[in-house]
Amino acid sequence: MALGILQRPSSIIAQFKAGWYKQAYRHKWAEFLLYFMFVSGLLLWDVVALNWPLARWLLLVHLVVGATVFCVVVGTFWSAHRRLIFGSNKVLLRRTGSVIEWLLVACSLSGFYLLFYGNTGQWLGQWIQDIHFYSSWLLAPLVFRHALRWSILKLQWIKRK
C-alpha cells in the first residue's frame, strides 16, 4: 500500500511535466490575446479619436482582459515557452524571443502602473504611458515575425519555409 502511494505522485508529476511541455507549443490563444490587446490599445490612442461612449467600454475591456485573461494565458505560455529561448538552435528565434521577453515585461509592468495609478499628467505618468505605448508597437510585429511559420495570421504574400 505504501508503495502505491509513493508511486502515485511521480505519475502526477510526470503528467504535470508532460502537460507543461505541451503548453510551450500552445500559442494560439496567447498570440490572439496579444494582437487583441494591441488593436484595442491602438483604438484607444488619441489620434484615432473614438467617441467617449465607445472608448470607455473599450478601455474597460482592455483593462479587464489585460489584468486577468492576458496575464494568465500569456504568463502560462511564456513561462512554459521560456526554456526554448535557451535551447533553440535557431539564432533568429532565440534573439527575437529574448527581445519579446523584455518587451513583454516592459509593456506588462507599465500597463499595471497605468491600471493602478494612471497617467496623472506628470512626467512620470507620461513616460510610463509612452513605454507602454511604444513597447506594444514593437512587441506585436516582433511576435508576428517570431511566430511567422505558426502564426494565427495567415498572410498569403509571405512565403513560409
53 belongs to a structural domain: yes
- Within-domain flag for 17: no
Residue 83 counted as domain residue: yes
CA pair distance 56, 161, nearest whole angstrom: 43
- Domain assignment present for residue 5? The answer is no
* In a domain? residue 12: no
pTM comes to 0.77
Selection from 139, 133, 146 nearest residue 85 by Cα: 146
CA distance 156 to 113: 39
Please report whether residue 55 resides in a domain: yes
Look up the domain containing 67 and give its range.
Answer: 30-146
Instruction: Provide DSSP, 69-119.
Output: HHHHHHHHHHHHHTHHHHH-S-HHHHHHHHHHHHHHHHHHHHHHHHHHT--
Domain for residue 25, yes or no?
no
* Residue 2 domain-assigned (yes or no): no
For the chain, what is the domain count?
1
Digit-by-digit pLDDT tens for the chain (161 residues) are 455 554 444 677 776 666 666 665 667 888 889 999 999 999 998 888 889 999 999 999 999 999 999 888 888 888 877 777 777 788 888 888 889 999 999 999 999 999 999 888 899 999 999 999 999 999 999 988 888 776 666 655 555 55
